[in-house]
Amino acid sequence: QVQLRESGPGLVKPSETLSLTCTVSGSSVSSGSYYWTWIRQPPGKRLEWLGYVYYSGSTNYNPSLKSRVTMSVDTAKNQFSLKLRSLSAADTAVYYCARVAWELPPRFDYWGQGMLVTVSS
Amino acid sequence: DIQLTQSPSFLSASVGDRVTITCRASQGIDSYLAWYHHKPGKAPKLLIYAASTLQSGVPSRFSGSEFGPEFTLTISSLQPEDFAIYYCQQFSGYPPTFGQGTKVEIK
C-alpha cells in the first residue's frame, strides 16, 4: 500500500525558509514511472500545485513560485523535499505531498494527509 | 492558467441520492481531467482520471463524463462515507490547476 507522510515545522517565521520532507512507503522514489510533487491549500483558497521532482533530480516548478522554491529527492531514504524561501503570511497553508503517475494521462494518484504550516512571528 | 469552475460549491443530499457535480474549464483540456475526494485531515483520494476512467479500488457508484468543455462527476447512490469535498483538476495546461471544490453534506 502506497503511503506518503509530510514532516517538518508547523510554525515558521516570516522571511525564513520552510523545509518539508515527504517520506514514501510502498513505492520507490527511484521509479521512473512517477514524479513526486508538492501541493498546498491556503485557508479558504484553492489547491495550488507547487512543482514536481523526478528521481533524476530534474524539477519543474509553478511559475508563480519559481524563484522561491527548490525540490529535491533522496533515493537512499526514499524521501523527497521542499524548500520555500522568503516566507510571508500568504504562505500559510496545508502542504501536501503526492505521487504523480506520469503514464498518460497523468494524475496525482496517492497523497499524504497534509500538514498545516503557519507563517507567523 | 486554465481556470476550473465547479458547480455547485455546496450540496446537501441524503444517503441513497444520485449526485452530480460539474466542472467547467476556461479552455479546452482534452480529457486530462481528474476528480478527487477529500475529507479534511485525511489524504485526498483519486477517484477518476482521464475524465471517465475509474481509479483502481474506487467503487463503481462513482462515474465521470465529459460533454464539450463540461465535465461531470456522478455518484449514483450516495453513501455515508461519500460526504466530503470533491475537487476537479486538469493536467492539460501548465501549471496543473484545481477547481474550487464542492462540499457534499448530509441533508
- Residue with more model confidence, A104 or A109: A109
**Grid cell at residue A105:** 494521462
Q: How would you label A3-38 residue by residue, b for 16+ Cβ within 10 Å and e otherwise?
A: ebbbeeeeebeeeeebebbbbbeebebeeeebbbbb
Contacts with B100 from chain A: Cβ below 8 Å: 46
Q: Name the residue facing B91 among A46, A106, A114 (closest C-beta).
A: A106
pLDDT at B7 over 90: yes
* B46 membership: H or E segment, kind and range: strand B45-49
Question: Which value, to the nearest 10 degrees, does the dihedral of the CA atoms of residues A6, B96, A104, B63 take?
Answer: 90
CA distance to partner chain A, nearest, from residue B47 (Å): 9
At A66 the pLDDT is: 80
At A60 the pLDDT is: 94
B100's CB contacts (< 8 A; 6+ apart) are A46, B4, B5, B6, B9
**pLDDT category of residue B93 using cuts at 50, 70 and 90:** confident
At A104 the pLDDT is: 78
Q: What is the DSSP string of A58-107?
A: -EEE-TTTTTTEEEEEETTTTEEEEEE-S--GGG-EEEEEEEEE-SSSPE
Is B50 in contact with A105 (CB distance < 8 Å)? Answer: yes
Whole-number average pLDDT of chain B? 95
Judged by a CB distance cut-off of 8 A, whether residue B61 touches chain A is no
CA distance to partner chain B, nearest, from residue A13 (Å): 24
Tell me the pLDDT tens digit for each residue of B17-41: 999 999 999 998 889 999 999 998 9
Question: Cβ separation of B89 and A108 shorter than 8 Å?
Answer: yes
Tell me the pLDDT tens digit for each residue of A31-77: 989 999 999 999 999 999 999 999 999 999 999 998 999 999 999 99
